[in-house]
């Protein structure tokens, strides 16, 4: 028996919700094929050109599967073949897609014995391999779909799925390298109280805006006074994309996860197309190779 899983790209942080908010995109998706094998353990086969490690402890899908197998009493063997469409290092949850897709697929092969929160817990071991940090803001939306709030990850993932009104998402991935580990190291470890107040006001209001389909409130809440001022320095064209997108009518947006991708939310598809044009213009002007995606929240 073999099954196929589509693992979606995700946008973590959603501007103000560092490590606690994320949403899944309708595209791009990784395609993963999984089957049980006679030989116990984990076998990774990369069917794409990204040259990712196949040693299970060094592979994000492998590390997630090993965590899941530790919770299975009987000896089990799982083979996973991975076709990545989400570029590694793009900032739209490439590693999370591999880790999430692997545990969702394995759970299906094993008769759906684990809850979604347990799968998040296993998949976070994959994120640890990728960036050294067990954050769940890409994993949780990849597993639950839609928009998710991560209230806490310890002692166990406490994930709150949020409803949201229709939103178009425009993403641009400029071809520069930003490592999540580096993009975390440069953050300040202390936050002034006045910034914290502004930030949790925005997070609360963004959640309310999503639940109440209040597009204006969503737009006002897409503000980050803590992380963005530090990280945006790593991304050429950031200010131009943000400013141009707002002028084109986007509700707002910012860095996707730790970057380098940027994302913008729009209420109308035509606006999202205008935003895509802005993004292309900025990066063509800077002479930087880039990819854009125009999609919706999954
Ligand atoms: N919340 C994480 C960060 C996401 O911003 O570092 C990384 O994809």
Cα of 75 to ligand 1 centre, how many Å? 34
pLDDT given at position 220: 98
Question: What span, in angstroms and rounded, lies between the C-alpha atoms of 4 and 244?
Answer: 40
pLDDT at residue 84, as a whole number: 95
Minimum-distance ligand 1 atom for the alpha carbon of 227: 5
Residue 180 appears among annotated catalytic residues: yes
Mean pLDDT taken over the chain: 97
**240: which residues sit within 8 A by CB, 6+ positions away?**
282
Burial class (CB in 10 A: 0-12, 13-18, 19+), 70: exposed
Q: pLDDT for 86-110, tens place per residue?
A: 999 999 999 999 999 999 999 999 9
Residue nearest to atom 4 of ligand 1 (CA): 257
Q: Does an H or E element contain 160, and which? A: strand 158-162
Determine the Cα–Cα distance for residues 265 and 261; give it in Å rounded to an integer: 14
Q: Average pLDDT, stretch 2-11? A: 97
CA of 150 to the centre of ligand 1 (A): 13
Tell me which of 127, 128, 228, 276 is the catalytic residue: 127
CA 275, 280, 285, 291 torsion: positive or negative? Answer: positive
Kindly write down the DSSP assignment for every residue of 60-82, as one continuous string.
Answer: HHHHHHHHHHHT-SS--EEEEEE
Q: What is the pLDDT of residues 239-259, one digit of tens each?
A: 999 999 999 999 999 999 999
Is pLDDT at 13 greater than 90 in this prediction?
Answer: yes
Coil vs helix vs strand at 132: coil
Query: Tens digit of pLDDT for each residue in 147-198?
Result: 999 999 999 999 999 999 999 999 999 999 999 999 999 999 999 999 999 9
Pocket of ligand 1 from Cβ distances under 6 Å: 12-13, 18-19, 135, 137-138, 180, 183-184, 257-258
pTM: 0.97
Given 10, 148, 170, 180, the catalytic residue: 180
Of 187, 264, 181, which is closest to residue 222 (Cα–Cα)? 264
What totals of helices (H) and strands (E) does the chain contain, helices first?
10, 10
Q: Which atom of ligand 1 is least distant from the CA of 183?
A: 6
* Contact criterion met (CB below 8 Å) for 125 and 64: yes
Q: Are 119 and 102 in contact (CB under 8 A)?
A: no
């Amino acid at each position: 028996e073999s099954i196929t899983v589509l693992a979606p790209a995700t946008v973590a942080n959603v501007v103000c919700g560092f490590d606690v908010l994320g949403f899944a995109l309708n595209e791009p998706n990784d395609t993963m094929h999984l089957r049980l094998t006679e030989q116990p353990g984990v076998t990774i086969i990369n069917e794409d050109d990204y040259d990712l490690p196949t040693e299970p402890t060094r592979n994000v899908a492998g590390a997630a599967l090993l965590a899941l197998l530790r919770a299975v009493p009987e000896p089990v063997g799982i083979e996973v073949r991975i076709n990545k469409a989400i570029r590694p290092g793009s900032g739209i949850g490439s590693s999370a897609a591999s880790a999430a897709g692997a545990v969702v697929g394995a759970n299906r092969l094993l008769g759906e014995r684990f809850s979604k929160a347990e799968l998040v817990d296993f998949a976070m071991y994959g994120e640890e391999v990728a960036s050294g940090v067990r954050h769940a803001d890409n994993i949780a939306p990849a597993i639950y779909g839609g928009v998710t709030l991560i209230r806490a990850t310890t002692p166990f993932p406490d994930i709150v799925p949020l409803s949201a009104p229709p939103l178009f998402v425009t993403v641009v991935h400029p071809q520069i390298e930003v490592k999540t580990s580096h993009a975390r190291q440069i953050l300040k470890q202390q936050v002034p109280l006045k910034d914290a107040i502004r930030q949790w006001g925005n997070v609360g209001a963004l959640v309310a805006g999503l639940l109440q389909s209040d597009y204006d409130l969503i737009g006002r809440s897409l503000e980050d006074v803590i992380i963005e001022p530090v990280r945006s320095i790593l991304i050429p064209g950031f200010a131009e994309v943000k400013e141009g997108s707002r002028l084109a009518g986007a509700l707002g947006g910012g860095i996707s996860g730790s970057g380098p991708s940027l994302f913008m939310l729009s209420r109308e598809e035509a606006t999202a197309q205008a935003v895509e044009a802005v993004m292309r213009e900025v990066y063509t002007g800077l002479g930087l190779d880039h990819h854009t995606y125009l999609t919706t929240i999954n």
